[in-house]
Structure 1
Amino acid sequence: MTTVTQTISGVPTKQLPRYEQAAESKHELDWADLVTLDLSKFDTPGGKQALASQLKDAVHNQVDRQFAIGKELFALPTEEKLKYRADLEHGNYNGYRPLGSGELFPGLRDNVEMYNVFKYLPALERMQPQVVNEHRQEIESFQRHIAEDVVQKLLVLIAIVLELPEDYLTKGHKYDDVSECHLRYMIYHARTPEENERYQNLYSRGHTDFGSLTLLFRQPIAALQILTADGSWKWVKPHAGSITVNIADVLQFWTAGYLKSSIHRVVAPPPDQSSLDRLGLLYFLRPAMDLSLKTVDSPLLKRLGLQGDEGGAGNIKAGDWVRARVKGNLDKAVVGGHKEKSVLGGVKVKYYDQTMMNNVQHLQREGRACYKRREYAKALEFFDSAIGRAPSVQLLDNRAACQDKLNDLPAALKDAKKAINLQKEDPTGYLRAGKILVKMERESVAVEIYSHGLKNVKHAGQGYEASDRSG
């Protein structure tokens, strides 16, 4: 990579206007029930262990200053911003991503601009706009605070969950590593109601992020949604002083799917906010470029039988994966939307939208109808198709019930375990696994599964009837 340096000493500092956050929506939205972390407890006695199981709220300072910098950035003339365009065609996000770089639907471009500031390391330096140079010191200080304080604590907690040494994940995520970690300023430009109708109210299709973690700093304009385990989209509530954290692809690969890359999308805000441009501030954590996506040697994963490299990703380098996914964002849209795309080495990513979810619900209904008619092999085909589009606890349980009826008990047990890993607080997977293990004359293991379920399930009765619908 060519290093570009820019002398910034003596640059006059312009006074930033105070940034005022928009008012929260007053509409009653279907908010997602998310866990939160209180990182102030991290260094207290027993704090790290407590945070690994009891999650509260994470806060930080200086956020509004960064929003103000972002607002000034996007106020620059387009021709000025284009001087700092990122090399998107080669998978490099360092710099400006222009408005309309991606297609949401054939012939319909997106409404988002981004400016990505990579870490201030010699190998990653590039020319920057004056507003970035004027505030370089506080941008770098903010980046380092997130990278060396907030992120490191989160990685320690994840390592504890995986029963790994506390520094296992932090070693591959140091600020001084050559990686594509970056601070992102982004803005979704408001559309008219007529435009939103043409775009099916989508600002960004359902997708996963490319790196290890994504931190989204509070944005009161509601637009972010996550795909929940039951296949529904729910709004992410902008709690005061909070950071929303998404698990991304690399952690899913490293844990063989035990940690799931968060599926999320951005939609048009509710009516009382729909006329507002949505300015965002995010931090994308990427691992060192040369790290492999091979599954980590975790005692927890071994006990759960999660030891294979997910999708054959073990031979892929993290940096290559990220860059391939960045390039993929420039692909032209297709009618009906991409359901999945090959990225590297045969490893694919999936994309999700409401049309797909409606299709999944149709497949599930057809599969259940076949099951009731005792057409188990045909039902299995429907459940296979639905799971291939959007796996859920209920779909896995439905398929396990079919496999049970077809006397393929090992396959049924495998799906039951997948259901447990997908949603540990749902009793469905434990009940199905125990039932299958008893049929396999492995009663002692069934008891262990039930015992494990009793420790994790919060509501003892929840899900039992659902788990029995398919037998």
Structure 2
Amino acid sequence: MPGLSIPQPPHYVPAPPTEAKLEYADLAIIDLSKGTTPAGRAELAQEVKEAFRTHGFFYVINHGYTQAQTDRMFDIADIPMSGVSEEEKRDYAGDSHATGLFQGYKPRQYWHIDSGVRDQQEHYNCNRDVNAVKHPQALRPFLPDVEAFVKHNHYNILQELSRLVALSLELPEETLVNMHNFEVPGGTYVRFMKYFPRSEEDEARTKNVWMKGHKDIGSMTLLWSQPVAALQIQTKEGWRWIRHIENALIVNAGDALEFLTGGFYKGTIHRVVQPPPDQRGHTRLGIIYFGYLDDDVKLVPLAESPVLQKAGIERKCDDNVAPTMGTWRVARVSAYGSSALKKSKEVNIEEEVLHGILVKHYN
């Protein structure tokens, strides 16, 4: 009987880590291996609470994937960008402006960034139901890897973090897990993303900003760390860089978690900028798992939480007119990179109003 062979993807070689002296954010490191006992989970819940309250960004280690598995996924992530012809890419192009859903390709220059400059990032987006749609020919042999990766992110990381968030709010452990179901309609998806270098003219016109400061749409975002420095978060001290840690995840809170917690955990403002000089000219390949609540979950505070009752709840709107996750997703996704933003009275901020709720973009 012939042995089973595992297809080998072409190897993607990232840029070496930067040696530039950057001002990095001091982020907490959450070790998920400590969560195998009730006592360990209680300890982790407090660490997550502090991390979300301090920066809204933190690292996760010991998440269940080995370095070799992670390296293989980055090789696979590059296939939709480097292994598919431009003609075939058009057959799998999405149109998030029309659908409010990220699926298939987002081509370069689909979004307006600033001053007439359009983006230079390409995505291939895959809803968590990997086999629900067709994929480019070159990616098909690796769909079992993608499916396993999606389920690992969802069940072993996103839902585990959801349990820790619930415990941090003194709610039943499964409260948020029950809002992140895998089998029901929702926008949760994995994104393979590649940034390409830009012209000096575009850098000057956008002040080196590749993606304006924003908050993510969903509950929690899982970003697999990669070596090209470009991600920054807004802190009390100003913009700070995010350091690369091998085989770590970078987790941040989004809109939905801010809605659910009445502002106790705020969505973190982050942006992407031109890398430091020793990494310019390289592409930047990323893998992101965007966690969304189920589409029918209404974005109202979990007012039964003793922690939120004590802290005080800030509502973005009245509960009776609060959007569902699906409604908010469609509004935010459809508008991004296409709607005309208005200048705010606040310095370096632009605004739009969606469903009566103010959304800010930070320049």
Given the two structures, how large is their TM-score scaled by the length of structure 2?
0.88
Q: Aligned pair 1:109/2:118, yes or no?
A: yes
| Superposition CA RMSD, Å | 2.0
Give 1:396's aligned residue: none
Give 1:227's aligned residue: 234
Given the two structures, how large is their TM-score scaled by the length of structure 1?
0.68
- Once the two structures are superposed, residues 252-295 of structure 1 have per-residue CA deviations (whole angstroms, 9 ceiling, x without a partner) of 00111000101000000000001111111000001111010011
Q: Hey, what's the Cα distance between the residues in 1 that align with 2:318 and 2:139?
A: 40
- Once the two structures are superposed, residues 79-137 of structure 1 have per-residue CA deviations (whole angstroms, 9 ceiling, x without a partner) of 21111111311212111111111111242111111111112277xx2221113322111
Give 2:272's aligned residue: 266
Give 1:145's aligned residue: 152
Give 2:316's aligned residue: 310
The AA in structure 1 aligned to 2:29 is: T
Matched positions, count: 337
- Judged with a 3 Å threshold, the aligned counterparts in structure 2 of structure 1 residues 205 and 341 are, in CA distance, closer, same or farther, namely same
Q: Aligned pair 1:279/2:285, yes or no?
A: yes
Q: Check the 8 A contact 1:340/1:348 in 2, yes or no.
A: yes
- Once the two structures are superposed, residues 27-80 of structure 1 have per-residue CA deviations (whole angstroms, 9 ceiling, x without a partner) of 000000111210011103511011122367424332222211221210122221
- Judged with a 3 Å threshold, the aligned counterparts in structure 2 of structure 1 residues 93 and 68 are, in CA distance, closer, same or farther, namely same
Identity of aligned residues (%): 35
Give 1:320's aligned residue: 327
Identify unmatched segments of 5+ residues in structure 2. Answer: 49-58
Give 1:192's aligned residue: 199
Q: Check the 8 A contact 1:112/1:189 in 2, yes or no.
A: yes
**Aligned pair partner of 1:245 in 241, 245, 251:** 251
Q: Aligned pair 1:100/2:109, yes or no?
A: yes
- Once the two structures are superposed, residues 337-386 of structure 1 have per-residue CA deviations (whole angstroms, 9 ceiling, x without a partner) of 86111112x01211112xxxxxxxxxxxxxxxxxxxxxxxxxxxxxxxxx
- Judged with a 3 Å threshold, the aligned counterparts in structure 2 of structure 1 residues 103 and 338 are, in CA distance, closer, same or farther, namely farther
Q: Hey, what's the Cα distance between the residues in 1 that align with 2:294 and 2:15?
A: 36
Q: Aligned pair 1:46/2:49, yes or no?
A: no
Q: Which runs of 4+ in 1 moved over 6 A?
A: 335-338
Q: Hey, what's the Cα distance between the residues in 2 that align with 1:130 and 1:14?
A: 14
Give 1:3's aligned residue: none
Q: Check the 8 A contact 2:60/2:250 in 1, yes or no.
A: no
- The secondary structure found in structure 2 opposite 1:52 is helix
The AA in structure 1 aligned to 2:11 is: R
Q: Check the 8 A contact 2:14/2:283 in 1, yes or no.
A: no
The AA in structure 1 aligned to 2:362 is: Y
Give 1:175's aligned residue: 182
- Judged with a 3 Å threshold, the aligned counterparts in structure 2 of structure 1 residues 50 and 189 are, in CA distance, closer, same or farther, namely same
The AA in structure 2 aligned to 1:81 is: K
Q: Which has the higher helix share?
A: 1
Q: Hey, what's the Cα distance between the residues in 2 that align with 1:142 and 1:329?
A: 27
The AA in structure 1 aligned to 2:244 is: P
Give 1:16's aligned residue: 9
Q: Hey, what's the Cα distance between the residues in 1 that align with 2:200 and 2:180?
A: 43
Give 2:53's aligned residue: none
- Judged with a 3 Å threshold, the aligned counterparts in structure 2 of structure 1 residues 121 and 14 are, in CA distance, closer, same or farther, namely closer
Q: Hey, what's the Cα distance between the residues in 2 that align with 1:277 and 1:53?
A: 37
**Deviates most, 276-285 or 73-82:** 73-82
Identify unmatched segments of 5+ residues in structure 1. Answer: 1-11, 354-471
Q: Which structure would you say has the larger Rg?
A: 1
Q: Hey, what's the Cα distance between the residues in 1 that align with 2:101 and 2:293?
A: 15
Q: Check the 8 A contact 2:70/2:247 in 1, yes or no.
A: no
Q: Hey, what's the Cα distance between the residues in 2 that align with 1:309 and 1:332?
A: 25
Q: Check the 8 A contact 1:325/1:343 in 2, yes or no.
A: yes
- Judged with a 3 Å threshold, the aligned counterparts in structure 2 of structure 1 residues 146 and 338 are, in CA distance, closer, same or farther, namely same
Give 2:22's aligned residue: 29
Q: Check the 8 A contact 1:163/1:299 in 2, yes or no.
A: yes
- The secondary structure found in structure 1 opposite 2:28 is coil
- Judged with a 3 Å threshold, the aligned counterparts in structure 2 of structure 1 residues 57 and 326 are, in CA distance, closer, same or farther, namely closer
- Judged with a 3 Å threshold, the aligned counterparts in structure 2 of structure 1 residues 332 and 79 are, in CA distance, closer, same or farther, namely farther
